[in-house]
């Protein structure tokens, strides 16, 4: 999807979610846990794939390290040390992953982790399938620039997947399942793009209904994606910069 796929609107950047950096420092336990779950949901797949490629670990070892990293993120309160004036949050977290893996290697530790990780379903099998489908040569992403680019792309992929799932849930809640199916067929399918006319015929609805449904779905998807992005940035400046870099959307 590109900027052209999502027409401009007055509600383009609704900061309705607090930044995880603010929320994780809250005195409210529920708010802190919710922020950490949001962070884990967005970053666990990029972390897992990064560990697999950057550190050349087996799936089992990468799973343990991924879970161990998020446990350490909580126990050592690493987010408290993040300074948005010095780096992007995703860059900071990637460097924290590097430091964590190196420390684990030095200590010679290898242990199964679990219980203390935020309550997010970690589908490592799906992550492994995605990684296998990309056919990436680890040697080709060895440079710092390539590593940063790889981590960013995986983070954007994760963010979009979360936004799509939230849109699906919104459509179900509003009894607009057909709208989601139209959006899925037209905007998300990897095959050759289907036409509005084909969708109109397939669903037996007027062409104007297809047009209106897709316009609504794109507007809501854009809103959801930007709200999640806002939540995962350390500052307004980073949010606007990341929106342009990751999505190609103007931050106005």
- CB-based contacts of 38, cutoff 8 Å, min separation 6: 17, 20, 228, 231, 232
Question: Does position 247 have pLDDT exceeding 90, yes or no?
Answer: no
Query: What is the pTM (predicted TM-score) of this model?
Result: 0.81
**pLDDT, tens digit, for every residue of 183-228?**
999 999 866 778 999 999 999 999 999 999 999 999 999 999 999 9
Question: Could you tell me what percent of the chain has a pLDDT over 70?
Answer: 81
Q: Across the chain, what does the average pLDDT equal?
A: 83
Give the pLDDT band (50/70/90) at residue 7.
Answer: very low
73/172: higher pLDDT:
172
Query: What mean pLDDT is predicted for residues 117-130?
Result: 81
Largest CA distance in the chain: 65
């Amino acid at each position: 999807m590109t900027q052209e796929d999502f027409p401009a609107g007055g509600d383009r950047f609704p900061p309705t979610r607090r930044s995880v950096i603010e929320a994780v420092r809250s005195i409210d336990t529920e708010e802190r846990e919710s922020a950490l779950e949001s962070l884990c949901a967005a970053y666990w797949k990029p972390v897992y794939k990064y560990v697999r490629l950057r550190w050349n670990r087996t799936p089992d070892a990468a799973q343990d390290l991924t879970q161990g990293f998020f446990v350490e993120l909580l126990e050592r309160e690493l987010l408290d040390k993040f300074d948005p004036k010095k780096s992007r949050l995703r860059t900071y977290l990637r460097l924290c992953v590097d430091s964590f893996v190196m420390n684990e290697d030095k200590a010679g530790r290898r242990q199964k982790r679990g219980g203390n990780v935020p309550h997010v379903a970690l589908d490592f099998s799906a992550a492994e399938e995605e990684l296998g489908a990309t056919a990436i040569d680890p040697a080709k992403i060895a440079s710092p620039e390539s590593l940063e680019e790889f981590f960013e792309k995986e983070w954007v992929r994760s963010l979009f997947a979360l936004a799509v799932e939230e849109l699906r849930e919104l459509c179900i809640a509003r009894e607009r399942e057909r709208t989601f199916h139209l959006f899925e067929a037209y905007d998300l399918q990897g095959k050759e793009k289907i036409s509005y006319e084909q969708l109109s015929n397939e669903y037996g609805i007027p062409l104007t209904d297809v047009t209106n449904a897709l316009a609504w779905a794109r507007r809501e998807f854009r809103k959801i994606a930007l709200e999640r992005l806002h939540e995962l940035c350390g500052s307004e400046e980073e949010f606007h910069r990341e929106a342009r870099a990751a999505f190609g959307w103007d931050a106005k």
